[in-house]
Amino acid sequence: MGSAMVFSRRDFLKTGGAAGALALSSPTAIWAAASARRDFVIKIGRREIGASTVSLRRQGSSIVADVSANLDISILGLLNFSYDLQARETWQGGRLQNLEATTNNDGSAEFANASATNGGVQVNGSRYSGLVPGNPATSSFFAADFLTRPVWISTQDGRPLNIRAGNAGPMTLETAAGPTNVTRYTVRGDMEIDLFYTERGEWVGSQRSLAGQRVSFLARPGAGSLMSVWLG
């Protein structure tokens, strides 16, 4: 999905121990906000193919995250691949309480539903049903502390994704909002993707390789501070 996404035409885009050695910068203190939204452009190489949005809002003691991603890839003017994901996640105290997500994966209907239990998160998805123990993250990427969690739940199909994340150091990322100073984190395992976060812990982009081409999610200008909601 990028944000929340485990695309595939078969395996078109596949996303969606704790990394103890991961050195995450402590986000700068941020005023709590009631809501925030961040929009992304999706590109394959230099060509724009879609868009994604992450919105967070506080609802009592909970945080509700709405995530969407949609793209269309055409070759010679003909639609070759389409993808649309819509997900809603509810979090409390940094723990996933509820997930409802549907995906149209090039005509195939997929889903992921989940709810918190005493032992972890109970998942009912199109490719996995069962208990995911502990405190898993999701494949939505919006919170930098997800990188310290060894299991992410795919919002596309409910699969538990075993990952390991490493700090690859600072760099300048050319986002849709212009050059941005970020830290690059490499995610490997059941998902292979590079994620980019600012010093404040804001997610501003992702990159992965697909059939020798680079697929990128890049933040658009005017983004709100998701971390001001998440940490508030």
What is the domain partition of the chain in residue ranges? 35-230
What confidence tier does 77 reach under pLDDT thresholds 50, 70, 90?
low
Q: What is the pLDDT of residues 96-132, one digit of tens each?
A: 999 999 999 999 999 999 999 999 999 999 999 999 9
Q: What is the pLDDT of residue 23?
A: 44
Mean pLDDT of 150-157: 98
The pLDDT value recorded for residue 230 is: 96
* Mean pLDDT, range 65-85, rounded to an integer: 86
Q: What mean pLDDT comes out for the span 147-175?
A: 97
Q: Per-residue pLDDT for 157 more than 70?
A: yes
Q: What is the pLDDT of residue 32?
A: 65
The confidence score (pLDDT) of residue 12 equals: 36
Write the Ramachandran bin of 63: left for phi over 0, alpha for psi from -120 to 50, otherwise beta.
Answer: beta
Q: For residues 136 and 91, what is the distance between their CA atoms, to the nearest angstrom?
A: 11
> Which of 40-44, 74-78, 212-216 shows the lowest per-residue confidence on average (mean pLDDT)?
74-78
Looking at residue 14, its pLDDT comes to 37
49-57's contacts with Cβ under 8 Å and 24+ in sequence apart are: 49/73, 50/83, 52/1, 52/2, 52/3, 52/4, 52/5, 52/217, 54/3, 54/140, 54/142, 54/203, 54/226, 56/142, 56/226, 56/229, 56/230, 57/229
